[in-house]
Structure 1
């Protein structure tokens, strides 16, 4: 019952922002058969084999995908390259096929079991993952199985900008099984996915819990080797008693960015940004207004509070862990343009040391 002369505006309840997937992995490379140049999602090894064939050493991608699912991966996207070797044209076509496909991790497979991903392919893909705000797992060069530690450098992988380096991770070395060497990148992506699911995307996918389902590292690495590799932004695959192969490092290739030198920090920020963008999409039917600002502020704060409570953001309280700004102070310039701006600060490494992140969402124009 309404009181005469009093008009009440009903405010819709705050809708929660849901975390989006973090470990959908796009695999690009050769297979024995299957559709070429098409981004096809697969949700398990059986589905992959039905479309592309069983694991076959003639096609390293098939081994990488098998290792992905064996080590905890659940969602993959496959883009088969035609022909016997990766070319610039075939890679460009594959990446174009991925442009409208959601994924979080990119992996390029060598054409041959003891071959390398071409430098031009690494460099092209590095630009692509920056555009898509994704990560790329690089397969270590085959020569690193016997190379001196001092010869293992980021420069040997290609020429990359700092934004690209912060979205790339490389693991030394490949794996070895009873048939010989095999790629390690697919297994690493599976361990990332497994760690995300069990402990959160902010958890380091490394250490004893980051062990492989099968295989051993192709070469033995000492503590000194590990320290030298880490200083260069490279991660070691190591073996210990009771653990045939484990990931022993969480570095990106970046050496400039203090924040994004580490895989978990880079991936957590991406996850938050993606989830906030997706969660605010429903605001698109409303023009900017004080009421909308309050609703959005509450939505984003609630989402970040849950991540903080789970241990993803650092701080003894929410104020030390994040901040959210969505009001006229940052939205004034966008009024009438159909854009909503949300500014966040995320304490991904230390309390009250905020990584600034801005999200722009299209909304109804006033």
Structure 2
């Protein structure tokens, strides 16, 4: 309390009420690849807000720029609803995985929530992008499946092939030479920090509209992620969405082929006669029995973790007592209640959707003596209705229909 020495009336501003937790952005992408002009701003994260800006920067200095997978991905990103991305211009796969050259320069950009290396489909590239996202724990990887349509025969057998390669003494050699199917599907990410999509799409070359080319889908998918986040929220699975700019697919996956690919975490881009070309999968590279098998669940938890971490920095060095515990519980509960009202959490009441515990049980004397304050949070995320089943039976009085989701 201040010292009052002179008689009079004093008016003070007293901080009270909750400190609102704001949700962080989830749609900023980071692309690493070869630009049309490979010599421009190499190994530097460049913020890009439009396709025109990308061409002004990375297409400059070339009389007639040649298309690249990176250019196709950035074009597809903005075409499908993306608003902001970072581009890192690197020359080859060695620089992609090099320290402070490719993916490494994105580590300092907290804004990035989606990472892709368009066109890089080798086991080393897959592992590099996944390892980057697993290290950062605040972003997910979108990986391109194999470029050739013939790979579908190996992809449908990928589980058995990967097991054989892992048991083989020269498994590394097989993966590098492409003799096995191990390189066709990226490795597992147990915490679900990545998703892979197959096949590549066919569309107009963004640098030559008269030419139809085969393009990696990762950039278009990153735009779809951003579009779904803006229209529905990060909790909505970015699937059953139209791929803008896709005029065809390099391979038309059948229903039976997807029945083998989907359990292995390979998301298919399907052509439907009436609905057009759509994203028809929302799985991560986590095991099928994992709680992280859906990409929207992984991205929702990424957003919640990052939002709470950024908005509760005021807690640091505060007195670790009951007042602080109540303030933390109040602020986090208010944030999660808002998510529940938006449909991101499952439950008819907030109590069913989440819990927040910060009290003497989570903060005993030994924890407080260590300078720590521990808050336990539990969430019940909404998961996609991946399989919609209509059970139809004929009754005595007519037809009975039961709908299950």
TM-score by length of 1: 0.84
1:143 aligned to which of 132, 136, 148:
148
Aligned to 1:172: 198
Q: Which runs of 5+ in 2 are unaligned?
A: 1-12, 163-181, 204-210, 384-405
CA distance in 2, matches of 1:11, 1:255: 48
2:293 aligned to which of 243, 252, 261:
261
CA deviation map 1:55-113 (0-9, x unaligned): 965421011011001001112111111x3x22157633222211111211110122xxx
Aligned to 2:341: 309
Aligned to 1:183: 216
Using the TM superposition, name which of 177-186 and 245-254 deviates more: 177-186
Q: 1:216–1:331: structure 2 CA closer, same or farther, 3 Å change rule?
A: farther
2:228 aligned to which of 195, 217, 222:
195
Give, in angstroms, the shift of residue 349 of structure 1: 4.0
1:231 equivalent in alignment to 2:284: no
Using the TM superposition, name which of 296-305 and 152-161 deviates more: 152-161
Q: 1:122–1:244: structure 2 CA closer, same or farther, 3 Å change rule?
A: same
SS where residue 163 of structure 1 aligns? coil
2:86 aligned to which of 73, 77, 85:
77
1:64 aligned to which of 67, 73, 90:
73
1:28 aligned to which of 2, 26, 32:
32
Q: 1:77–1:90: structure 2 CA closer, same or farther, 3 Å change rule?
A: same
CA distance in 2, matches of 1:341, 1:201: 27
**Aligned residues of 1:169 and 1:234 also touching (Cα < 8 A):** yes
Aligned to 1:334: 367
| Count of equivalent residues | 335
CA distance in 1, matches of 2:247, 2:150: 15
1:38 equivalent in alignment to 2:38: no
**Aligned residues of 2:29 and 2:222 also touching (Cα < 8 A):** yes
Q: 1:246–1:328: structure 2 CA closer, same or farther, 3 Å change rule?
A: same
Q: 1:66–1:76: structure 2 CA closer, same or farther, 3 Å change rule?
A: same
CA distance in 1, matches of 2:350, 2:244: 36
Give, in angstroms, the shift of residue 310 of structure 1: 0.8
Q: Which runs of 5+ in 1 are unaligned?
A: 1-8, 111-115, 351-366
Higher-Rg member (1/2):
2
CA distance in 1, matches of 2:325, 2:353: 21
Using the TM superposition, name which of 290-299 and 177-186 deviates more: 177-186
**Aligned residues of 2:133 and 2:193 also touching (Cα < 8 A):** yes
Aligned to 1:126: 130
Give, in angstroms, the shift of residue 158 of structure 1: 6.5
Q: How does 1:87-102 map to 2 (within 5 A)?
A: 87=94, 91-93=98-100, 94-102=102-110
CA deviation map 1:321-351 (0-9, x unaligned): 000111222133432444332221010147x
Give, in angstroms, the shift of residue 11 of structure 1: 5.5
Q: How does 1:264-343 map to 2 (within 5 A)?
A: 264-332=296-364, 333-343=366-376
Give, in angstroms, the shift of residue 258 of structure 1: 2.9
SS where residue 129 of structure 1 aligns? helix
Give, in angstroms, the shift of residue 152 of structure 1: 4.9
Aligned to 2:190: 163
CA deviation map 1:148-183 (0-9, x unaligned): 15245574346745436x111111100112522111
2:57 aligned to which of 48, 51, 54:
51
CA distance in 1, matches of 2:218, 2:97: 21
- Root mean square deviation, CA, Å: 2.6
CA distance in 2, matches of 1:190, 1:79: 17
CA distance in 1, matches of 2:269, 2:301: 25
